[in-house]
Structure 1
């Protein structure tokens, strides 16, 4: 029996060398994709962050990666990402029943009614922004949209924020997702930002529980403050704060996608014309193609839960495993002409939850697929409508190129627009 097992396993392609964390930082979104290409394999072994690691990509790889019998999330994320991006004990690091129960808490605020409220808030914030931009010589879109998203997120989540604190809070939430892949001062900015915001939200949660602050009933602040775990206890203050930030931070991060939406509207005028008909379906297709085409998050990580064999390759318990998100969204085995921007590819798209994974894959309720994906799509549709249909503006000469190394990737000029005028 053992002989058979040995003969049925293949040697995994292996990247030679002591550690490749520097290559990962140097190559960014392309690191896994480059090696999948050179090894001609959707799987290879390497060493990252001082550990043995396996990198995988493609639809089948995503299916196995989201199999909770085979992989676990607890302790998988590098510490630098926990300290900046995720926070400790958040939903991303849970497994099994605990994960399912905590995920239900998130999904409870994603009802159609709540998403409609979010859409209304987003429209209102865009309206106010356009009024402001009409008075400005030039608008640095990325920075302005971060603030729109911060205001939207706080209002939707029931988090009261003073007007003079909005800019500071926006900056702190942005630092959390801009710093995990950086080193030195930029990285510590992210850690300090997280500590500040967690402390403030923690105090807010205590005030909610003491009856001093009463957020509206279906908001994240209200739901999360009164949520009970499987043992019937409220979550501790720190964990609750982490989960409230898990609503605020990703909504502010949609600013990255909105910036790329502006870029697509500018670079593909023939697609923009199709948007002017107000066709809801085409707007959805355009948004989905922005999420597929442009770089957002390069990969997600997990640990092998127990030894198993997949496609004749052996996975050993405890091995760090990275799933290539960007590469899967550009995989020629899944997508025709993956390097072309073509919203029409989503016209008849019946894709699996494992082939289109800009924010992770799998099932929303049971698995680790990002609960905020619906939020992202709705907010992007509103933003697209403003960028394509509700205002006129000029895009002056600037460096609109973007790096495939910096994570997250943002057009170098942050998309500058001027002479903004509301369309009547």
Structure 2
């Protein structure tokens, strides 16, 4: 049975989303009179149209059914354009999405390319650890640079150390400015600069002015085609090059949360540390570190909700969904649902040990759900897990001293995208 409360003005609901952030869905559920643990969908006015919030495993099946759901235009343009770029794969549906996604997945989702990334990110994380031994730093800022450097090197983009630093900082700054209308305007400035840089890279590769490895990610993206087999515009290819490298920088938010989790769960940190020793000190392919990273991605907030539009008259759990209606997939609510997870409030990496196919865990949506090749799941998820788990492995070392000050271990549930405001201060003892 549908639940709605349309007497609340649309503008008030949108303002509530801006101010409540990750708590928005839970508050709206409470106002609708729905029990906190219930997966009952509910409808309310938002941006001039009805919107329905859904969560849980049935909701995942519904949201990723491309015969019913489309994403084009569901996220407000200024936000989507700043975060993903105009015309990015995230905004496509149907054949156009399938063709674009297949080409991007051939880069980010390919196991051999992921293995190459692992080696690079291990090098960059070790570089950060060595830096902390010389001077205290903070996890978020320093790891963001490491991830950016690794991603650019992985993509085969010719850059010196100074430019690697500059572009990684721009990526991080763009993500920091994502959210409120004022900050989003600042993000648009970074987007313009980055689009210009990436477009020139593509143009130079296409013209022969820049010579790169023809099997590099950069070279392949320079050859990106649309559903008609035509080269996409250089600006669009540049945007997709960013979409293969920038999300890795965003994982630095999870790295900051991982630092918090290591401090607050010393027994789990010890397990990771022992596993790293057993792995010969290598930071990659450590099962315990991967499990810890996966639990961080479940337990800590990143994307609060994902938007889409219904393409048909349909229903979910007795709640009618009309054609053209906005549907919001409640990520945080799904990750914290006792119907999906056993004791979801507990931080428990053990729930991931032995899980070979995390994509088959239907209620796990930190980077989207369903199938990578046929749906809207992020193809860079393997790279994200590799980066985060290597960082967890490195920070588990007993020489790494992570601050346990409340200023470092607390974060806002009302600011999107959130993270500990200090970035989590850290040092390495001699």
Q: Same fold (TM over 0.5)?
A: yes
* Aligned counterparts of 1:233 and 1:241: Cα–Cα separation in 2: 16
* Aligned counterparts of 2:233 and 2:416: Cα–Cα separation in 1: 32
Q: Is the 8 A contact 2:178 2:417 kept in 1?
A: no
Q: Please say which of residues 12-21 and 300-309 is displaced more in the overlay.
A: 12-21
Match of 2:21 among 18, 21, 28: 28
Q: In the alignment, which residue of structure 2 is the partner of 1:92? A: 90
Q: In the alignment, which residue of structure 1 is the partner of 2:319? A: 313
Q: In the alignment, which residue of structure 2 is the partner of 1:297? A: 303
1:272 aligns with 2:265: no
Question: What is the aligned length?
Answer: 410
Deviation (angstroms), 1:304: 0.8
Q: In the alignment, which residue of structure 2 is the partner of 1:74? A: 72
Q: Please say which of residues 362-371 and 300-309 is displaced more in the overlay.
A: 300-309
1:406 aligns with 2:418: no
Match of 2:34 among 30, 34, 39: 39
Q: In the alignment, which residue of structure 2 is the partner of 1:5? A: none
Q: Please say which of residues 225-234 and 146-155 is displaced more in the overlay.
A: 225-234
Deviations 1:76-102 (A, max 9, x none): 111122221011111111111211111
Match of 1:345 among 351, 357, 369: 351
3-state secondary structure, aligned to 1:197:
helix
Deviation (angstroms), 1:15: 5.3
3-state secondary structure, aligned to 1:134:
helix
Deviations 1:167-213 (A, max 9, x none): 432232123323332122x2221001001100111011000001122
Check 1:396–1:367 CA distance in 2 against 1; reply closer, same or farther (3 A cut): closer
* Aligned counterparts of 1:11 and 1:113: Cα–Cα separation in 2: 47
5+ residue gaps, structure 1, are 1-9
Q: In the alignment, which residue of structure 1 is the partner of 2:180? A: 182
Deviation (angstroms), 1:32: 1.0
1:48 aligns with 2:42: no
Match of 1:375 among 377, 383, 389: 383
TM-score, length-normalised on structure 2?
Answer: 0.90
1:18 aligns with 2:24: no
* Aligned counterparts of 1:370 and 1:394: Cα–Cα separation in 2: 30
Q: In the alignment, which residue of structure 1 is the partner of 2:395? A: 387
Q: In the alignment, which residue of structure 2 is the partner of 1:223? A: 220
Check 1:325–1:134 CA distance in 2 against 1; reply closer, same or farther (3 A cut): same
Deviation (angstroms), 1:126: 1.5
5+ residue gaps, structure 2, are 277-285
Deviation (angstroms), 1:159: 1.9
Deviation (angstroms), 1:331: 0.6
Matches within 5 A, 1:330-369: 330-347=336-353, 352-369=360-377
Q: Is the 8 A contact 2:100 2:227 kept in 1?
A: no
Check 1:108–1:420 CA distance in 2 against 1; reply closer, same or farther (3 A cut): farther
TM-score, length-normalised on structure 1?
Answer: 0.92
Q: Is the 8 A contact 1:398 1:413 kept in 2?
A: no
Q: Is the 8 A contact 2:203 2:234 kept in 1?
A: yes
3-state secondary structure, aligned to 2:302:
coil
Q: Is the 8 A contact 2:53 2:330 kept in 1?
A: yes
Deviation (angstroms), 1:248: 1.7
Q: In the alignment, which residue of structure 2 is the partner of 1:115? A: 114
